[in-house]
Amino acid sequence: MSPWSLSGKVQVWGRVDRMNVYDEVNRYKAQESLTRAVTPPSSWYTSPEVSDLESRSVFFGNWIVVGRADQVTDPGQYFTVDVCEEPIVVVMSDELRAFYNVCRHHASIVMTGEGTANAMHCPYHGWTYNLDGSLRSTPQFAGAENFFLENHGLKPLRVGVSNGFVFVCLSDLSPALPDYLGEVSAELDACGMADLRFYRRMVYDLDCNWKVFVDNYLDGGYHVPTLHKGLSNAIDYRGYKSRFGERHATQYCEMSNDNESEETRRGSMANYIWLYPNMMFNFYDDILDTNLVIPVSENRCKVVFDFYFTEGQFDDEFKEQSITMSDRIQAEDEMICLAVQKGLQSRAYEVGRLSPEKEAGEHLFHRLLHKDLMSCF
C-alpha cells in the first residue's frame, strides 16, 4: 500500500474517513466509454494530497506554456515563472535556455520578474552566472577544496518554442515538443496565430480548483446558452462541434449573422482550442484570447488572460471593448466555478455524469489526468 493518504468523503452516512490516495485516484474508471462514464470523485477537486500528486505528475511530466516567445527575442532578455512550485528562469543566451532559478550555493532565488541582463547575479552572496547558466564567479571563495566552477552552473531544463509560445518540461522522459504537440500546432497556424500581436494581460484569482475551470471550458458549449447570454447571441450554438487529438480538444462553431449586440466577437468562425493540461486558445478570426490556468492550492487557481489582435486591423477603442466583453464572460464563468467548488465540498455530491452529446472534452481531460496520476504509483 502507498504511504500517501488523504482525507476524503465516503458515501456511507456522509462520514469523512482517511482514504488511501491510490485507491482514491483509481476510483475513476478511465476505461469506461463516454456513454457510461462518470466524473472523477469530488476529492480530486478538494484534496491537498491529490493536488500535490498533480504537481509531481501532471505538471512535472508534460510540456507547459510559461510565456511568449516575444519576451525573449534579444540576448539577455529573460523572464521568471514557477511551475509546480519550481522556480524557473527562461533566458535568451546564444540560444533560448531555461534553468531552475536556484543558486547552487545556498539555494536563493537568483532572478526575479523579467527584463534584460548581461549575467544572472544571486542577490544573497553575489554568485554570478553567465547567460548560458555556467558559473562565472564566486566572491570570497578562495581555499575551497574540490570546488570547480564548471560543476556548479544552474541546473538546465528542457525548453522549446512553438506558435509563438515558450514551453518548458521538467521531465526528461516526455517526448520532444513537436511530437508532444502533434497536430495542434498546425491548428493554431490555421487560425492565424502568426499574424496576431500581444496587446494586454489580465490575471484573475479564483477560489476554485484549477480543474473546475478546465471542465467548464471543455463542456462542448453546454453552459453557453444558460450562462453566457451575450456570447450565445454572437455564436451559432446549434452548430457547435468538437474534435479531439491525443492531448487537445478543438471546439468550434460559426459566428451568428445576427451579432449586433456583440460586435467585438465577430468573423466567420469561433475556434476554442484546449491543450492538455492547462492552456486554452480562443480565436475569433483576427482576435485571440488565451487562458493559462495555474493551480495555487486544492481550492484556488490563477487564470492568466492574454489578448492578441491582428496587427493593423483594430483601433484601441475596439480592443478595449473586446477586453471588456471578455471580462464580462469571465465574471460569469467565475461565478459558476465558485458555485461548483462549493458544491464539490458538500457531502451531497460524490460523482456526476457526462453528456454524451456535449462533454467528450471533459472525458478526454479526465482520462489524461488519471493516466498521469497513476504514473506516480
| In-domain check, residue 2 | no
- The answer to whether residue 375 sits within a structural domain is no
Peptide bond preceding 277: is omega within 30 degrees of 0, i.e. cis? Answer: yes
Q: Say whether both 153 and 261 belong to one domain.
A: no
**196 and 114 part of one domain:** no
Is the same domain home to 260 and 363? yes
Is the distance from CB of 99 to CB of 91 less than 8 angstroms? yes
**Can you tell me the distance from the alpha carbon of 283 to that of 332, in angstroms, rounded to the nearest whole number?**
19
- What pLDDT is attached to residue 255? 78
User: What's the pLDDT score for residue 221?
Assistant: 77
Q: Which three cell numbers stand for residue 48?
A: 491537498
Supply 149's cell numbers: 566552477
* CATH code for the domain in which residue 326 is found: 3.90.380.10
- Amino acid 233: pLDDT: 60
Domain that holds residue 141: 64-170
What is the CATH classification number for the domain harbouring 93? 2.102.10.10
Work out the burial of residue 126: count CB atoms within 10 Å of its CB; fewer than 13 is exposed, 13-18 middle, 19 or more buried. middle
Local confidence pLDDT in tens for the 377 residues of the chain: 322 333 333 333 233 344 589 999 999 999 999 999 999 999 999 999 999 999 999 999 999 999 999 999 999 999 999 998 899 999 999 999 999 999 999 999 999 999 999 999 999 999 999 999 999 999 999 999 999 999 999 999 999 999 999 999 999 999 999 999 999 999 999 998 989 999 999 999 999 999 999 999 998 776 776 766 566 566 666 778 899 999 999 998 887 755 454 555 666 788 999 999 999 999 988 999 999 999 999 999 999 999 999 988 999 999 999 999 899 989 999 999 999 999 999 999 999 999 999 999 999 999 999 999 999 99
Q: Which of 170, 190, 208 is the last residue of a domain?
A: 170
Q: How many domains is the chain partitioned into structurally?
A: 2
Say whether both 202 and 159 belong to one domain. Answer: no
Q: Is residue 5 part of a domain?
A: no
Residue at 249 is within a domain: yes
Q: Which of 151, 170, 189 is a domain's end point? A: 170
Residues 209, 248: one domain?
yes
pLDDT score recorded for residue 8: 38
Asked whether residue 374 is domain-assigned, the answer is no
Q: How far apart are CA 22 and CA 2, in angstroms?
A: 7
Do 87 and 189 fall within a single domain? no
Task: Calculate the CA dihedral of residues 44, 49, 52, 53 and round it to 10 degrees.
Answer: -70
Looking at residue 256, its pLDDT comes to 75
Measured on CA atoms in the order 298, 302, 303, 308, is the torsion positive or negative?
A: negative
Domain boundary among 170, 197, 217: 170
- The answer to whether residues 131 and 211 belong to one domain is no
